[in-house]
Structure 1
Amino acid sequence: MQRGVHAILYAFFGPDETLDRAAMRRQAERCIAADVAGIAALGLATEVQKLSFAERLVLMDWVAEDVNGRLPLGFTIYGQSVAEQVAMVRHAEAAGATWLILQPPQAGSYAADEYISFFGRVMGETALPCAIQNAPQYLGRGLSDDDIGVLRRRHANFEVIKAEAPAEDAARLRTMAGPDFRVFNGRGGLGMIACLDGGCDGFLLAPDAVDYGVEAMRLYDDGQRAAAQAVHERALPAITFIMRSIEHLICYGKRLFAARAGLAVFDRAPALRPEAAELAALDLLVRDLGPFPLARESLYRPT
């Protein structure tokens, strides 16, 4: 799994609430133009729980077509049974995925051994590198450090943990994981520099301010920590605003990206509907962040 900032795409719908092919293509192209390390789709930001099985397969095909082998390509594997997830794995393999992110099923709350077995059976059906999305605050369940250790010993292709964790927790995972295992974080990039200080290998971020994340990590890896911090702080008000909840991310984060990239947003019900005061705040953030992707030299204008 390549170190860096990867973009996890939003789902764009048309006025009739069906998936918008042109908007999805434009989103992917804009993210590639922002020099992201990879593209992924079908995560929480992609509103995967609102998509039918057939729509998930269609999105895989669209995104694979748009990326066209130019970057690493990951798909979140979502499903309520081993059979459903394996069917998604097979389609992801055929589409050209280079890695997979496994989400726990939503079928209920069970003992850790049940989730370890579930993930293990899915991982055992593919040779692709696999991550697990460990986000109990969003998904209602997660794996402990010990659970992660068990899965690592059993499955060599379990190579990445996708956390949604504060910097100190991500650093603990990094220490626990060892050098041959990667720790990627999300949370919109909150605490990015502290996460990098703690050893995080990368981030999986929705597109709204992913160009700032790319530049911040580039500077950090070039040894320019202060400049990286300054770039991250430019984006921090927007990150803080959109990351109040997953629903807030989908409603306002998608609109933030769309306004920067010249796209229209149509919600698929049920959805958090935008409010006038929040849209006014969003307009200020759009003005400050600028067009997507922002020209590198524009990142250093005085605050």
Structure 2
Amino acid sequence: MTFEKLAPGVWGVLATPLTPDGSAVDTDSLAGQVEHYVRIGATGLTVLGVFGEAARLTPDERRTVVRTAAKAAGELPMVIGLSALDAEAACAEAENVLDVLDRAPAGLMVQVGSPDPDAVAAQVNSVAERTGQGIVVQDYPVVSGVSIATDDLVAAVRQIPAAVAVKSESSPSPPAVATLVAGLDVPVFGGLGGTGLLDELAVGSAGAMTGFSVPEGLIACVGAFRDGGFSAAREVWRDYLPLVNFEFQSGIALSLRKHSFVHRGLIAAPAVRPPAPPAPEPLLPVLLEHLRHTPHALRVAS
């Protein structure tokens, strides 16, 4: 079986909006967030990613998220994230949500579960064979706790016939992306909130797959690079970088981004689930200042 590689561009990683007390998924806000990505021309969407707090959702909530996002997305392709590191648990996660879809996803995103390339290939191939889906291989050691050498990741992905993309989030990301691009024939996307986006594009990345709260900037930067190269993309991206840097603060990035979405009118509440902490109160006025100076960050008309 052959699988279609992910198209280059911006694959928005969806936040999972919660009710103000954090007890349930806010499906109206989720649908509105998806519709915004459709309006601004995202290449595709990623649900149940790290930014989507997938590891903190119940199986029923994961089904609700996938069903809601797919209905609102229309024809926009969607990648579904899997949180588990071992193949058996990852397959169970996939089976829990795949039957709510009326069409196949663009891929399942599987995290690297071992530093050994042969073990990674066995893990990912097992998920692909049991689910019949293409795979986005995600290398995110800060979240997974697994660090794999980039050359070993290249060796692993070469053994995965179902690979449709790699999401590289091993810091520093630009040299990792450069090695992956040189060694693989599948697209490589950067993440990490867009912190390395311009440099990743310069070394050959296919675009971004991340949860920055002003995805219009990601789309503008990637489009400018495609049409005018590094200089054009740098000119566009520099106005977004202060907010990119501000939002990507260790431990509180998720809450800061949700507050940004609230101010933009894209979700109703900034609630996060433990162990994620709420954003520190002294930083909230600073966030507003960043939003005031960021293109496209004004409140989105409903």
TM (norm. structure 1) is 0.86
Equivalent-residue separation in structure 1 for 2:298 and 2:206 (angstroms): 23
1:8 to 13, 33, 42: 13
Equivalent-residue separation in structure 2 for 1:110 and 1:144 (angstroms): 7
Give me the CA root mean square deviation: 2.3
Aligned length: 288
Say if 2:133 is the partner of 1:125: no
Equivalent-residue separation in structure 1 for 2:120 and 2:229 (angstroms): 41
Alignment partner, residue 211 of structure 1: 216
Q: Which amino acid aligns with 1:99?
A: G
Alignment of 1:59-78 (within 5 A): 59-69=65-75, 71-78=76-83
Change (3 A) 1:5 1:294: farther
In structure 1, stretches of 5+ residues that fail to align are 296-303
Change (3 A) 1:294 1:219: farther
Deviation, structure 1 residue 136: 1.1
Change (3 A) 1:116 1:87: same
Alignment partner, residue 98 of structure 1: 106
Alignment partner, residue 38 of structure 1: 44
Change (3 A) 1:24 1:77: same
Equivalent-residue separation in structure 2 for 1:260 and 1:65 (angstroms): 22
Change (3 A) 1:186 1:47: same
Equivalent-residue separation in structure 2 for 1:100 and 1:273 (angstroms): 29
Alignment partner, residue 175 of structure 1: 182
Change (3 A) 1:293 1:119: farther
TM (norm. structure 2) is 0.87
For residues 229-278 of structure 1, give each alpha carbon's deviation from its aligned partner in whole angstroms, at most 9, with x where no partner exists. 12211110111111122x32211012112212353322333331222221
1:47 to 44, 53, 65: 53
Q: 207-216 or 2-11: which moved more?
A: 207-216
Equivalent-residue separation in structure 2 for 1:167 and 1:147 (angstroms): 17
Q: 47-56 or 87-96: which moved more?
A: 87-96
Q: Which amino acid aligns with 2:51?
A: A
2:284 to 269, 279, 284: 279
Secondary structure class of the residue paired with 2:274: coil
Equivalent-residue separation in structure 2 for 1:238 and 1:87 (angstroms): 37
Do 1:252 and 1:274's aligned partners in 2 also have CA atoms closer than 8 Å? Answer: yes
1:161 to 149, 166, 171: 166
Alignment partner, residue 21 of structure 1: 27
Do 1:260 and 1:290's aligned partners in 2 also have CA atoms closer than 8 Å? Answer: no
Do 1:186 and 1:204's aligned partners in 2 also have CA atoms closer than 8 Å? Answer: yes
Do 1:41 and 1:75's aligned partners in 2 also have CA atoms closer than 8 Å? Answer: yes
Q: Which amino acid aligns with 2:122?
A: S
Deviation, structure 1 residue 81: 4.3
Alignment partner, residue 135 of structure 1: 140
Deviation, structure 1 residue 52: 1.4
Change (3 A) 1:20 1:294: closer
Change (3 A) 1:293 1:121: farther
Secondary structure class of the residue paired with 2:164: strand
Change (3 A) 1:113 1:241: same
Equivalent-residue separation in structure 2 for 1:259 and 1:291 (angstroms): 12
Secondary structure class of the residue paired with 1:125: helix
Equivalent-residue separation in structure 2 for 1:126 and 1:293 (angstroms): 41
1:87 to 92, 96, 116: 92
Alignment partner, residue 260 of structure 1: 264
Secondary structure class of the residue paired with 2:228: coil
Q: Which has the higher helix share?
A: 1
Equivalent-residue separation in structure 2 for 1:257 and 1:265 (angstroms): 8
Q: Which amino acid aligns with 1:227?
A: A
